[in-house]
Structure 1
């Protein structure tokens, strides 16, 4: 399992299994993770900057803010992650340029 997938699971666990911020911090230290990354389009980032914080896609929709549509939005609602914020332990943008991925 990739490190970024592990962190996505842990972020979900914060809410569902009451993983304390202290335990999460300890785990990040143990894994030598120094940074967490979160990516958005420029348009969605503007909404978050105006809000002054990261928001879930659900929260942006409730506040009637702008966000770029994602192809997973409908499935995110079904799988109950629409109100979650995901972060990665690695910066995937470097891989986009190295691999010339079209989706970045």
Structure 2
């Protein structure tokens, strides 16, 4: 259900939320940077823009969230000590991205839509009031997503994007062993930032210095998943 954006953001700040996070693949992130916009799955598809397929695409269409923009309130990689299944590129946004003048309300999920069905009632999908959200909100809960709906599936990256964090899989490209996947991904992201005229706008770029379970996870990752996440 619709909740007032400013009240939700105030609650998040009170609960210690520093950024709103959106993880994706290198390929899809490059499209965001080139267009200068964070795009919903449906919006990018409709405009025939390049993006990586996701296993939830068919379900998202069925559930009516194909044009919605989802944000997490914690860094899932850091919290779970494992790589993020949505992709190795983490975009860290200022909470003000939710306070759009032309979208004064946002929605917050009670559970990850991957576990919804077509018959899941609305009051089990979404928080229904600020009182309910205030009593149950957990910034570390992966299932509670802040969602921009009815915004045309697009929101400007600037001035909200503050930081980009990319994982280093420490793997070579499977079909070209002389090419380091991380270096290639960083180059593609930087080129896309330049194409979208986002370079020099104060966005910081970081490699995640990781020693968690992702190290073994990336080491064991099948080639097709590695290319899906880091390929451009």
Question: Would you call these one fold, judging by a TM-score over 0.5?
Answer: yes
1:79 offset after TM fit, Å?
A: 0.9
2:15 to 15, 18, 31: 31
1:37 offset after TM fit, Å?
A: 0.7
- Aligned match of 1:50: 34
1:81 offset after TM fit, Å?
A: 1.3
- Aligned match of 2:213: 99
1:88 offset after TM fit, Å?
A: 0.8
Q: More helix per residue: 1 or 2?
A: 1
**1:45-79 deviation digits (Å, cap 9, x = unpaired):** 01100111211001101111011000110001101
1:1-104 superposed matches below 5 A: 13=1, 17=2, 19-94=3-78, 95-96=81-82, 98-100=212-214, 101=217
Q: Name the CA distance, whole Å, in 2 between partners of 1:93 and 1:57.
A: 22
Structure 1 stretches lacking a partner, 5+ long: 1-12
SS in 1 for 2:69: coil
Q: Name the CA distance, whole Å, in 1 between partners of 2:12 and 2:58.
A: 31
Larger Rg: 2
RMSD across aligned C-alpha pairs, in angstroms? 1.9
1:20 offset after TM fit, Å?
A: 2.5
| TM-score after normalising by structure 2 | 0.35
Structure 2 stretches lacking a partner, 5+ long: 84-211
1:28 offset after TM fit, Å?
A: 0.9
Q: Name the CA distance, whole Å, in 2 between partners of 1:85 and 1:99.
A: 28
Relative contact order, CA 8 A, sep 6+: which one is greater?
Answer: 1
